[in-house]
Structure 1
Amino acid sequence: MLRFIAPVALFALAACTTEPRELEPQISLETMQEVTRTLSSDAFEGREPGTPGGERTVAYLIEQFQAAGLQPGNQGSWVQEVPLVEITSSNFAPLTVGDLALEHGSEWVGVSYPQVDRTEIADSEIVFVGYGVNAPERGWNDYEGLDMEGKTALILVNDPDYMEEGLEGPFNGRAMTYYGRWRYKFEEAARQGADAAIVIHEDFAASYGWTVVEGGWTGAQAYADTGDGGMNNTAMNGWVQLEAARKIFREAGMDMDEMILAARQPDFEAVPLGVTMSTGFDNAIRRFTSSNVIGMLPGNQRPTQYILHTAHWDHLGRCGAPEDEDQICNGAVDNATGTAALVALAQAHAEAGPTARTQVFLAVTAEESGLLGSEYYGANPVFPLDRTVAGVNIDALYVLGEAQDVTVIGGGKSELDSYLADVLALQGRTATPDAAPQAGRYYRSDHFSLAKRGVPMFYIKSGQTLTEGGAEAGEAGYQDYNTNHYHAASDEYSEDWDWAGVMQDLDLYFRLARALGDTGEWPNWNEGDEFRAIRDQSCASDANAGC
């Protein structure tokens, strides 16, 4: 079996309370290649949850976890069943506002989270709530004094200060916080009792065009089946295209640009527009079950403290057009590579021997449908979250060759940064910050389902400055994948891939997990971070002595 031997011996980092010891990671390139090749083959049909290809994926991962030396992670079982519901809406009435009749798809989209056969919104008063933020720790509440029952919240995407050039401001300037994400805005509108929530789309603020919204928010929508029928959500969540939003403000006799400027001020007060919204559509409901796959290596000193590794095993299934010769989206990079990394890392940790803390390997389902598998785990954790020390999420390892750096998404948020700095120094690499902080990428992969519940999580992407070709070659490689292969049938395994950079990244993940697994410390979110309060609360609980 081929092995990748790290060029620098691993030493326990300064943060550790154990005695320093040398350890050479033994990470199998052959395992990475074989698992990636297998999972992205046509036999797995694109690994869509709720299909035979998805079931084959789960069975294969159980086999691989077991062969790697893991133990079943869920009280003797390898899986955590994840109940899902799929809602497909049709027969959309126009979205009417006064004399306006906005066209579904080109001007607005809407979906039902509640599991009802028919969604009907009739004469719901529209209230412009600015950025829809309620952040007491930042002294900001766009809903202050409002009663939103039976009303529709019209909301701006991103944070109030996203137009700043730097990272200074009440919401970290250009770097998006969770408050800027559409998911938060829908959740907060529901908590406020709104009947519906509509986010105003704008390309730069959202970091993607209207075609992405139209494509992603029409057709079947999958959700975690929480058992309450989705009834704690608004009746409808949706988006409105920017120029269509201008029409709504004009119908209300208001200037949208003036309202946006006002919404960026801390003293902004929500504005009832004096117009109502109506629409309706039918919903077809399908329920099915998928699985998270969980394995573990018990710790030898503090086995009830956990280090988490996550990666999503699912992809899009058959996504090509009927006339396409190749209709299977194999998802080789996204995320057969990350899933294979779980297996290869588990194998390496098993051969290296246990750390003080338990190492957990979690392959989650339905990421492509909205982080559903990780969200279900976060709401129903197998290992208590107030005993989960930290974790790393692996999502799409780019096979571009050796790199001089790594890309850090969400840097500056937590005390994990010091662990990363130490390991990068051992590797002789540097950290490159997120080039598009306004895109909020930290809130768009599976680690977020744990982070928002207080668990500090790494999200590290492959480097941008390649050893051969530098930053220009790295940018060209990223652009080629994102433009030509991301979520396309062409994301397929190639025997010509250069795995050197991937193996660098696996070495990094291995070292981080060993350091966190052997230290006695509990890294926290930095002061002022949106997730600090929930971590502090869990650390203060009687059940978590020593956090």
Structure 2
Amino acid sequence: MFRFPKTAAAIAALITVAACNADRDAADNIAASIPEVTIPEISLKTMQDVVGALASDAFEGRAPGTVGEEKTVALLIERFKAAGLEPGNNGSWTQDVPLVEITAENVSPLTFTGGKTPMSLNFGSEFVASSYRVQPEISVKDSDVVFVGYGINAPEKGWNDYSGLDVKGKTVVILVNDPDWQTAEAKGEFNGRAMTYYGRWTYKYEEAARQGAAAALIVHDTEPAAYGWNVVQSSWTGTQYLAASENNGADQTAANGWIQRDKAKQLFASAGLDFDKLSTDAKKKGFKPVPLSGVKASLSFKNKIARKQSKNVVGLLPGTQRPDEYVLYTAHWDHLGKCEPVDGDGICNGAIDNATGTAALVALAEANKKAGPADRSMVFLAVTAEESGLLGSKYYAENPVFPLSKTVGGVNMDALSGAGAAKDIVVIGRGKSELEAYLEKAVAMDKRVIVDEPSPEKGYYYRSDHFSLAKLGVPMIYFDGGQDLLEGGEAAGKAWADAYTEKRYHAPSDDMSAITSWDGMMADLRLYYAVGRMLAMTTAWPNWNEGDEFRKARDESRTAA
């Protein structure tokens, strides 16, 4: 006769065993539903030709609303047609995405008065700023300055860095990343080393606007930001793009920007405060905002404004058995356009980021067409304005050509590795969805291994276009070649990745010379093909894992369908 154990430890052990068995059963059921696929040859010539064209100076860095966009869209339509795709948007190859092009001109110094030592910061080298308000002139004058820690308001965590102080009309100074970003593991209030959305600069500006701040300044720090000041300067000193809104951004802060960390320390010292101590205090729950008593911030600039219709490009390979069910391949075609010159070169070509992913859409379209139509329809979606805050994918997600409730899932491709063939594959945001079972099967076919992100603090999961679709419930997977190279091992892979981040990312030197080998890229394309093809040939509807932040949206979407 079985007797229930009476100790809490024994009960917990039984529960753990049952849970593990349930997880194993679920994983086995998913694996059993994944079909076998044959991976055809994928064209290296296509990759080289398309990347070479998109990353050439003739495309001027592919900024939305420019001649570079016109050339990019035309090239994609030509290549999608040649690959055998059909126009994806009700007979059209494109989806209009309304944007506002806004360029700050005559930017004044950022001044701070009222402290022990007045300060005047130079635009570009010491601070950057722009506005999300679509108005011709921006002025922040004698605005009280407040330090709001990490600028997080997370009621579900009992965390509010704005608690107890009204910041309406004030300038808030904010730390980058999450409070526990220095935790070695992905554990803690904000997932430890792995960044959450609360750590992204986009969230921090959104929350500052909700709080009514006049201006929001993020303190740049290279390690938690995941890039140097050169990236901030190249990304924020030129034309910016905003999603068009009915109120022209009237509910946004007047100015959003970044300041150098050493300037922030000087500012706090001028107010009689210790920046390092307050930064440490801000890591703890219960932190309260700290006014920089007597300090006033001022800044002004003019906005050159133009309204543009940018375009997403949509190609379709119709399914034969279930054509009203859709599998997505996504990549962003845009880059920064003309940017801050380096050694006389003022075009940010974006070869790795993301001519590679865009070219992959073409190469995978060709391969899938040659293999014959799948059971489900396959959508090849090249989106605009990723560099401006995922605007093209956000617009598609909120105005989908194909219903999200009928979209099975998809693969996002952003900045494929040019380092060489690797033994490993990195899943960005590992453990989030059942799509990983599909990748695991593909990886096993190629005798590679899946590893955790080497730099989870960089928050890549919230920095590319899959996030726009994930927020609305569509399971999306984002993965890339790892750093354990066949030639040179982990040391060589890390050296390439570090050099790219420090010297080429969002810089004019992200050109064709950044690709030192095509072998890894082509090996990774086999996996992109396999995962998408498996999804298109199964009857299963993979979901986010239980407890994931996007599970609820997917469940509601599928229930409604």
Shorter-chain TM range is 0.7 to 0.9
Distance 1:14 1:510, change over 3 A: farther
Asked if residue 405 in structure 1 is aligned to residue 424 in structure 2, the reply is: yes
Q: How much has 1:433 moved relative to structure 2?
A: 2.1
Q: Which moved more, 1:400-409 or 1:509-518?
A: 400-409
SS at match of 2:248: coil
Opposite residue 473 of structure 1, the aligned amino acid is: A
Q: Which moved more, 1:213-222 or 1:498-507?
A: 213-222
SS at match of 2:203: helix
Q: Which of residues 278, 285, 288 in structure 1 aligns to 2:305? A: 285
What's 1:544 paired with?
A: 560
Asked if residue 394 in structure 1 is aligned to residue 413 in structure 2, the reply is: yes
Q: Which moved more, 1:433-442 or 1:368-377?
A: 368-377
C-alpha contact (below 8 Å) 1:93/1:281 kept by paired residues: no
C-alpha contact (below 8 Å) 1:464/1:475 kept by paired residues: yes
Q: Which moved more, 1:69-78 or 1:245-254?
A: 245-254
What's 2:128 paired with?
A: 109
The alignment covers a number of residue pairs equal to: 529
Q: Which of residues 190, 202, 205 in structure 2 aligns to 1:186? A: 205
Q: How much has 1:113 moved relative to structure 2?
A: 0.9
Q: Which of residues 15, 19, 22 in structure 1 aligns to 2:30? A: 15
Superposed CA offset, 1:33-73 (max 9, x none): 33233333444343333222321221111111122122211
Superposed CA offset, 1:272-295 (max 9, x none): 444443332222222323211011
Q: Which of residues 214, 236, 248 in structure 2 aligns to 1:229? A: 248
Distance 1:429 1:253, change over 3 A: same
Opposite residue 354 of structure 2, the aligned amino acid is: N
Asked if residue 96 in structure 1 is aligned to residue 116 in structure 2, the reply is: no
Q: How much has 1:239 moved relative to structure 2?
A: 1.9
Aligned partners of 2:506, 2:297: CA distance in 1, in Å? 35
What's 2:333 paired with?
A: 313
Q: Which of residues 337, 356, 359 in structure 2 aligns to 1:337? A: 356
SS at match of 2:178: coil
Asked if residue 61 in structure 1 is aligned to residue 76 in structure 2, the reply is: yes
Opposite residue 102 of structure 1, the aligned amino acid is: S
1:90-169 correspondence runs (5 A):
90-99=106-115, 100-105=118-123, 106-169=125-188
What's 1:269 paired with?
A: 288
SS at match of 2:419: coil
What's 2:101 paired with?
A: 86
Q: How much has 1:227 moved relative to structure 2?
A: 4.0
1:123-522 correspondence runs (5 A):
123-275=142-294, 276-319=296-339, 321=341, 324=344, 328-483=347-502, 485-493=504-512, 498-522=517-541
Aligned partners of 1:157, 1:492: CA distance in 2, in Å? 29
C-alpha contact (below 8 Å) 1:538/1:544 kept by paired residues: no
C-alpha contact (below 8 Å) 2:331/2:357 kept by paired residues: yes
Q: How much has 1:390 moved relative to structure 2?
A: 2.2
Aligned partners of 1:200, 1:479: CA distance in 2, in Å? 22
Opposite residue 92 of structure 1, the aligned amino acid is: S
Distance 1:335 1:209, change over 3 A: closer
Aligned partners of 2:253, 2:405: CA distance in 1, in Å? 30
Aligned partners of 2:443, 2:401: CA distance in 1, in Å? 31
Aligned partners of 2:511, 2:272: CA distance in 1, in Å? 52
Q: How much has 1:128 moved relative to structure 2?
A: 2.6
Distance 1:317 1:496, change over 3 A: closer
Opposite residue 87 of structure 1, the aligned amino acid is: I
Q: How much has 1:97 moved relative to structure 2?
A: 4.0
Query: Which structure's residues are more often helix, by fraction?
Result: 2
SS at match of 1:308: strand
- Stretches of structure 1 lacking an aligned partner (at least 5 in a row): 1-12
Aligned partners of 2:161, 2:46: CA distance in 1, in Å? 51
SS at match of 1:434: coil
Identical-residue share of aligned pairs (%): 55
Q: How much has 1:541 moved relative to structure 2?
A: 4.7
C-alpha contact (below 8 Å) 2:152/2:207 kept by paired residues: yes
Distance 1:125 1:478, change over 3 A: closer
Opposite residue 560 of structure 2, the aligned amino acid is: N
Aligned partners of 2:558, 2:531: CA distance in 1, in Å? 28
Distance 1:389 1:490, change over 3 A: same
C-alpha contact (below 8 Å) 1:132/1:189 kept by paired residues: yes
Distance 1:42 1:96, change over 3 A: closer
Aligned partners of 1:477, 1:261: CA distance in 2, in Å? 33
Aligned partners of 2:433, 2:210: CA distance in 1, in Å? 27
Q: How much has 1:208 moved relative to structure 2?
A: 2.4
Q: How much has 1:171 moved relative to structure 2?
A: 0.9
Distance 1:405 1:216, change over 3 A: same
- Stretches of structure 2 lacking an aligned partner (at least 5 in a row): 1-27
SS at match of 2:30: coil
Distance 1:316 1:63, change over 3 A: same
Q: How much has 1:407 moved relative to structure 2?
A: 2.4
C-alpha contact (below 8 Å) 1:16/1:521 kept by paired residues: no
Aligned partners of 1:18, 1:407: CA distance in 2, in Å? 24
Aligned partners of 1:362, 1:25: CA distance in 2, in Å? 21
Superposed CA offset, 1:384-423 (max 9, x none): 3343332221122233333211222222333333332222
Aligned partners of 1:96, 1:496: CA distance in 2, in Å? 44
Aligned partners of 1:483, 1:199: CA distance in 2, in Å? 20
Superposed CA offset, 1:287-343 (max 9, x none): 32321101122334443433221112223444574983x655443333222111101
C-alpha contact (below 8 Å) 1:46/1:331 kept by paired residues: yes
Aligned partners of 1:320, 1:103: CA distance in 2, in Å? 18
C-alpha contact (below 8 Å) 2:475/2:544 kept by paired residues: yes
Distance 1:521 1:233, change over 3 A: farther
Q: How much has 1:269 moved relative to structure 2?
A: 2.8
Asked if residue 50 in structure 1 is aligned to residue 65 in structure 2, the reply is: yes
SS at match of 2:396: helix
C-alpha contact (below 8 Å) 1:102/1:244 kept by paired residues: no
CA RMSD of aligned residues (A): 2.9
TM-score by length of 1: 0.87
Opposite residue 515 of structure 1, the aligned amino acid is: M
Distance 1:209 1:396, change over 3 A: closer
C-alpha contact (below 8 Å) 2:325/2:407 kept by paired residues: yes
